[in-house]
């Protein structure tokens, strides 16, 4: 490829990236409205985000949040769209301002709360439930809290009953089954503190 054609390809890509959020804005806004999602201003969508709510449940999303749901929206690889859903009556999901999601699944049967500036890397999952409510072997649902400025790396799974303190970074591929304090780097399966920031 010549330098000229390379520059043209780059220019076309920049233009396409600026247009894509507007193409997906209306379908996602309508879907959020249909499911009763309280969506803050200046939300941006790259691809189709899935919203679902059970009766008497709440999904509240702050302003200036970004949802990367298409395969091209994050070059590290997004395997599924962002999915934000309540999976039981009276469940609540509260997401703060300036949060970012890439193929992230958030499913609440009880309560999930994310603070401001939470960054969820590609293919992350946050849930407060074991999901199989018809199986007697599962335990009780337990709320999840993720405080401000937390960064979940690629493929992180945050499971029920977990509280992650502010400013902490969770390493790629970690399974978080216990509380993580503020201002740490933590990683592993199960996730443990590696060092303090």
What pLDDT is recorded for position 172?
96
Q: What's 62-106 look like in SS3? A: CCCCEEECCCCCCCCCCCCCCEEEECCCCCEEEECCCCEEECCEE
What pLDDT is recorded for position 132?
84
The segments of the chain whose pLDDT lies below 50 read none
Q: Could you give the CA distance from residue 143 to residue 111 in angstroms, rounded to a whole number?
A: 5
Tens digits of per-residue pLDDT, 159-182? 999 999 999 999 999 999 999 999
pTM score, whole prediction: 0.87
As its CATH architecture, domain 3-196 has: 3 Solenoid (2.160)
What pLDDT is recorded for position 138?
83
Catalytically annotated residue among 3, 10, 94, 132? 132
In the residue annotation, 132 being an active-site residue is answered as yes
Q: Could you give the CA distance from residue 58 to residue 154 in angstroms, rounded to a whole number?
A: 27
Report domain extents, the chain.
3-196
């Amino acid at each position: 490829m010549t330098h000229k054609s390379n520059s043209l390809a780059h220019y076309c890509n920049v233009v396409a990236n600026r247009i894509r959020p507007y193409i997906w804005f209306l379908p996602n806004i309508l879907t959020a409205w249909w499911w009763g999602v309280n969506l803050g201003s200046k939300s941006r969508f790259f691809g189709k985000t899935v919203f679902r709510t059970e009766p008497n449940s709440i999904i509240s999303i702050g302003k200036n949040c970004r949802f990367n749901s298409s395969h091209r929206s994050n070059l590290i690889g997004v395997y599924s769209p962002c999915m934000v859903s309540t999976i039981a009556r009276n469940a609540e999901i509260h997401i703060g301002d300036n949060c970012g999601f890439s193929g992230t699944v958030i499913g609440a049967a009880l309560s999930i709360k994310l603070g401001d500036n939470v960054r969820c890397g590609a293919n992350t999952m946050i849930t407060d439930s074991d999901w199989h409510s018809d199986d007697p072997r599962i335990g009780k649902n337990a709320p999840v809290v993720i405080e401000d400025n937390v960064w979940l790396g690629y493929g992180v799974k945050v499971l029920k009953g977990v509280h992650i303190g502010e400013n902490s970074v969770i390493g790629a591929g970690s399974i978080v089954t216990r509380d993580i304090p503020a201002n740490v780097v933590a990683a592993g399966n199960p996730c443990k503190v590696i060092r303090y920031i």
